[in-house]
Amino acid sequence: MNIKEIRSDRVGESYFEIDHPSGLKIFVYPKEGYNSTYAIFGTHYGSIHNSFRKNGGDVITVPDGIAHFLEHKLFECEEGDAFARYAKTGANANAYTSFDRTCYLFSCTDRFEESFEILLDFVTKPYFTDETVQKEQGIIGQEIKMYDDSPDWCCMFNMLSKMYEHHPVRIDIAGTVDSIAKITPDYLYSCYNTFYNLHNMALTVVGNIDVDTVLSVADRMLKKSEDNTVESFFEEEPEGVSDHFVEQKMPVGLPIFNLGFKEKSDRLLTTEEIAYTDILLVMLASQNSPMYRDLLDSGLINSSFSHEFFEGEGFCVTIFGGESREPEKAAEKIKEYIRKTKEQGLDPEDFEIAKRAVYGENLAAFNSVAGIANAMMDNYFSKRELYSYIEAVANATFADVSDRLNTLMNEDKAVLSVVRS
């Protein structure tokens, strides 16, 4: 077993990266003086992984929403519901599925080993029957209908549906009522046995914990897993967008908009590119930015205005959005401001302010056990390292961020999504 300590002089802390004999990558981040512990057990498997091949075999295509369906079903096992087991230890448990990962987590202040055993046990012991699958189809069907009634959710996925013609990022993470109706125990076992291989997974534990305690449970609970080769397949995606505007009528107090830009996505971004992007977006759209103040003073946005950047296998998106009485005018003003900034260049003083803000926010995040655990998982599945991000922010130059501006937010690849009554 290989155990490596990774230290950051800038943060003044360290964590341990462990290659466990089972095949699982384990990260342990002790936080001296903390009362709580937070653990995440995740697999690099999300809603976009619907077409895949295992060990060079035949390509398998499964119904949309199956990763999310699996997340729900794993909590139910022959011994009983995992949440009921957690209730006895006092741990707070949850799970989530995103575009490219599924994670199971808990937090606790005591009885860590018991809660940790529950986590490793139920995630590694699938149990699916026709009866339980049919029951879950009804439950998730109601969840899908709930999201169909969410203006913010619809606004984003309407935008993605015009931005991507084929990539499954355009499809709701939970799938559709029709797609989940096609899910069977055979499909679930096929996906589980492909993606819930320990070589495709990771474990992060942060807080009032030490390596020996984590390994004592992991050694006892985890069996050696044979490494699988998994390939995911995506249809070739056009560079452009299918439409620049999409609108949906829903009962909302104020219209909601997402102005999204489809970015180049031929690879996962480097840590430095992520850091430069974050600084840039704070410069452009934070509450201290000239664009934000101008939009607010013009009455085109309110305090709900926000920005977001996310990327994964085959997709990369920059989004500005919120409530607006005149979403088309707000979007035009944002595009005009970006256009003007590209022509005239960024302001060096704004760069220094934004860099300090991003640095300070991310340094403060090391006070959160949940924040660290999630960041470690995100970085591992994105082939990046936790401390390298804050180093990239600290070392970012004005030229770095200016160059990044020139590669992002092309108006030819913009989509405005509006939801209004």
| Cα distances (angstroms) measured from residue 22 to each of 196, 218, 227, 229 | 13, 9, 10, 16
Nearest-angstrom CA–CA distance, 87 and 118: 11
Nearest-angstrom CA–CA distance, 139 and 284: 42
Nearest-angstrom CA–CA distance, 309 and 105: 24
| Superfamily of domain 245-420, CATH level 4 | Metalloenzyme, LuxS/M16 peptidase-like (3.30.830.10)
Q: What is the mean pLDDT of each run of 10 residues along the chain (421 residues)?
A: 95 97 97 96 97 93 96 85 93 97 97 97 93 92 92 97 97 95 95 96 97 97 92 94 97 97 95 98 96 96 97 97 98 97 96 97 96 96 96 98 97 98 95
Region for 97 from its dihedrals, namely left if φ exceeds 0, alpha if ψ lies in -120 to 50, beta otherwise: beta
Contact 73, 136 (CB under 8 A): yes
Q: Do the first three CATH levels of 2-232 and 245-420 match, i.e. the same topology?
A: yes
Measuring CA to CA, which residue among 253, 260, 252 is closest to residue 334?
260
| Residue listed under structure tokens 């029709």 | 178
Active site amino acids: 71
Tens digits of residue pLDDT in 76-125 = 877 778 999 999 999 999 999 999 999 999 999 999 999 999 999 999 99
**Per-domain boundaries in the chain:** 2-232, 245-420
| Residue listed under structure tokens 């091949």 | 53
Going 66 to 71 to 75 to 77, the CA torsion angle's sign is: positive
Which pLDDT value is given to residue 262?
98
Which pLDDT value is given to residue 218?
97
Tens digits of residue pLDDT in 244-301 = 999 999 999 999 999 999 999 999 999 999 999 999 999 999 999 999 999 999 999 9
AA identity, residue 36: S
CATH topology of domain 2-232: Cytochrome Bc1 Complex; Chain A, domain 1 (3.30.830)
Which pLDDT value is given to residue 77?
78
3-state secondary structure of 209: coil
H/E run at residue 322: strand 315-323
